[in-house]
Amino acid sequence: MGVRFADVPALAGIPLSLAAYFLFSSSDMLVKALTREVPVFQVVLLQVAFAFIPFMLVVLRRGGFSSRVRNRSLVAIRGLLAGVNTLCGFYAFSALPLAEVYAIVFCTPIVVTLASIPILGETVGMHRIAVIVVGFLGILVMIDPVATHFSLAHLSAFGSVLASAVVVLIMRKIGKKEDRVSMVAAVLLGILFVGLPGALIQWQPLTGKALLIAAGSGIFMGVAQFVSLEALRRAPASVIAPLQYTMLVWALAYGIAIFDDPVKANVLAGALIVIAANLYNFHRERLRGRRSSEA
């Protein structure tokens, strides 16, 4: 069966999304490497400082920064939560394998589904209940409370999940109304605000190697922000969202090749359960959206 002409715009967003998730994964890999010799708060500040380079290039290409923010309070909250998300994620990266952190972070869509019931007033059906139950079973398999020593790094990863979930809910409300450059600016400023105080307290001299790693991480992250937003502009979120799971492939590859991280069977099994639940949820949301548009 051939590809319909109407599918071409969505297909155009797929390679962009894959590229964005590769860049995000590569940035996180560099962050993990950097936390071996640099305090986490300082890593946060260094990354966002270098992320401003691609941001300013985009602004200059547009002829300046003249975007008007319509929902200032929500955009500001989103930026601050992006900072909290980054700090929690970086601390988790410093102590846990990349794949394990990603497996926990993949629970975000399930938390969003659960939170959208009281916050957005969305209905609870048997399919959503099943997704939530299966997703949390996957979390239990990943963590394995009996055999795993639950650490502050695990708690930090779940803090990242909660912050990300609120960001997603905010984006559902304002994402289509705000300019992309303004949204990226809010993220960068939020990360800067959260990271600066701790970085000033923990600051230590940098080696040339550390500075180079920080530059790569920041530039990758800054570019990935715009690439991911462009992917969402060209394809529906229902097409783009499942592609985030390619990050687990990159995390496993980086973990084995660079950090000698062990591949834990329970983490992989739990991640697959969570991914399956999320993919089913994406499929159901896509069907609901299609029915709403046809009604």
d(Cα 20, Cα 227) in Å, to the nearest integer?
A: 6
**Structure confidence at residue 4 as a pLDDT band (50, 70, 90):** very low
Q: What pLDDT digit, counting tens, does each position of 132-159 carry?
A: 888 888 888 887 766 667 789 999 999 9
Check residue 292 and give its pLDDT. Answer: 56
Check residue 236 and give its pLDDT. Answer: 73
d(Cα 293, Cα 295) in Å, to the nearest integer?
A: 6
Asked if 231 and 22 touch (Cβ cutoff 8 Å), the reply is: no
Residue 22: name the closest of 295, 260, 248, 261 by CA. Answer: 248
Count of beta carbons in the 10 Å neighbourhood of residue 276: 14
DSSP H helices in 35-125: 40-61, 72-95, 98-105, 108-119
Q: What pLDDT digit, counting tens, does each position of 194-235 carry?
A: 999 999 999 999 999 999 999 999 999 999 988 988 887 787
Check residue 3 and give its pLDDT. Answer: 39
Q: What pLDDT digit, counting tens, does each position of 14-61 carry?
A: 899 999 999 999 999 999 999 999 999 999 999 999 999 999 998 888
Q: What is the 3-state secondary structure (H, E, C) of 160-221?
A: HHHHHHHHHHHHHHHCCCCCHHHHHHHHHHHHHHHHHHHHHHHCCCCCHHHHHHHHHHHHHH
Considering 7-16, 88-97, 224-233, the range whose residues carry the highest mean pLDDT is 88-97
Check residue 67 and give its pLDDT. Answer: 63
Residue whose token pair is 């180079």: 212
Give the SS3 label for residue 149. coil
Q: What is the pTM of this model?
A: 0.84
Check residue 138 and give its pLDDT. Answer: 86
Count of beta carbons in the 10 Å neighbourhood of residue 225: 24
Check residue 7 and give its pLDDT. Answer: 46
Q: Cα 239 vs. chain centroid, distance in angstroms?
A: 16
**Structure confidence at residue 160 as a pLDDT band (50, 70, 90):** very high
Tell me: pLDDT of 120 over 80: no
